[in-house]
Chains A and B, each alone.
Chain A
Amino acid sequence: MLKKIEIVEREGIKIDEPTVIEGFPDVGLVGVIASSYLVDKLELVEVAHIESALFPPVMVLHKGILTEPVRMFSNGKIIVVTSEIAIPPKAIYDLADVLSDWFKEKKAKLVVSLSGIPVQNRMEIDTPSVYGVGNSEKWMNIFKKNDIEVMEEGFMAGIYALLLKGCLKRGIPAIAFLSQSFLNYPDPGAAASAILSLNKILKLDVDVKPLLEKADEIRVKARDLMKQAQGTMGAVRKPLEREIPIMYH
């Protein structure tokens, strides 16, 4: 019988104190676009997938091969978690818990979430800014040293908020990069900005030019996933991220 959430690893996979990058479908599909691009550019191979009785009954075909929609790719040092379906709100808490446990088991040295933060004037922005969020104070200095703006006030909603919390509880360093983005439209420009911030922190050298050149194609192909994600973002209170919390402490 299918478990509530289960990570199914491929045999013979060696992962050693990895850095984890995750991108799930939400604001502007920033995380999904960025993580899919990273899988391609870093030439990562599939190492695991996630099965769940809480996910829709969907399989994906790529080049004629049947695959799971929520998968993990790796080169042994970096793991990228990405999804081709919107995660149903009822699965988010369990998924964040299971993933955080798995990251702990794999002795992850850092978990990075890539996502978007909706801004109403996105049409007027050439290069979206990226805000950094860390699950400990040390990240404030690291972000500042790397010219990444710290998100000082605001709400966070969705799976990456729970992953930051889950990692904090388990003593795993975790950060999120939130790129200024359209809320309801796929935003490859925002994904490119998120990758540039990732380059700074992980000392990667991922070229985002090909991503920007394919922006229109991505916007067309990602319409259906964006529609799915629109349906779930309201349920996890995504629009709340546009608001400001009242407390000072």
Chain B
Amino acid sequence: MWRGRRLSEWIDEFLEQAYSELMRPSWDAIEKCLEPLVNIEDREDEIVVTVDLPYVEDKNDISIDIAEDSLEIRAEIKKAIRWERWGTVQKRIWFKSFRKFIKLPSKVDPEKSRATFRRGILEISLPKVRRRFTIKIQ
């Protein structure tokens, strides 16, 4: 019964998170920023986050703030963007940056993290905090 309740809670939480991710607009009219597409890969020793940043030209236009359990990315678009043929709301706004806050699936070591930026794709490798140790059999 206890295990069943925990599982259903986990499923509810998962579905709620997935639903809110899909339902959340991919832009913020007040901050004039766009939400970039993000991919999070949970590997054995590290978490690899990649971010699609079109129109971002220089690595110096990107800031990455890493905490043990989260990550915030901001990237500046040098020449603000807007198109006549776009959504009714979006086409009235000049967007000038990307911003994304990511909750990480496990704790990482911010100081050992590293990032590269190539072809408009930012890749951040975040080593996990090691909690496992190899022991000898007595």
Q: Which residues of A contact B (CB under 8 A)?
A: 123-124, 182-186, 215-217, 219-221, 223-224, 226-228, 231
Contact = CB atoms under 8 A, between A and B. Distances in A.
A208 B42 CA distance: 36
24 contacts: A123-B118, A123-B123, A124-B118, A183-B39, A185-B39, A186-B37, A215-B54, A216-B54, A216-B55, A216-B120, A217-B81, A219-B54, A220-B54, A220-B55, A220-B81, A221-B86, A223-B35, A223-B36, A223-B37, A226-B37, A227-B37, A228-B22, A231-B18, A231-B22
Contacts of B63: none
B25 to A, nearest CB: 9
A183 B37 CA distance: 11
A74 to B, nearest CB: 23
A185 B52 contact: yes
Nearest to B25: A224
B2 interface: no
B26 A224 contact: yes
Contact of B39 (A124, A184, A216, A224): A184
Interface in B89-138: 118-121, 123
Q: Which of A124, A185, A217 has the most CB of B within 10 A?
A: A185
A228 to B, nearest CB: 7
Contacts of B86: 221
A219 B39 contact: no
B119 A227 contact: no
Interface of B: 18, 21-22, 26, 34-37, 39, 52, 54-55, 81, 83, 86, 118-121, 123
B115 to A, nearest CB: 13
Contacts of B22: 227-228, 231
A211 to B, nearest CB: 14
Contacts of B55: 216, 220
B37 A185 contact: yes
A44 B50 CA distance: 37
A182 B118 CA distance: 13
Contacts of B123: 123
B52 to A, nearest CB: 4
Contacts of B21: 227
A75 B29 CA distance: 40
Contact of A185 (B18, B81, B83, B121): B121
A231 B83 CA distance: 27
B121 to A, nearest CB: 5
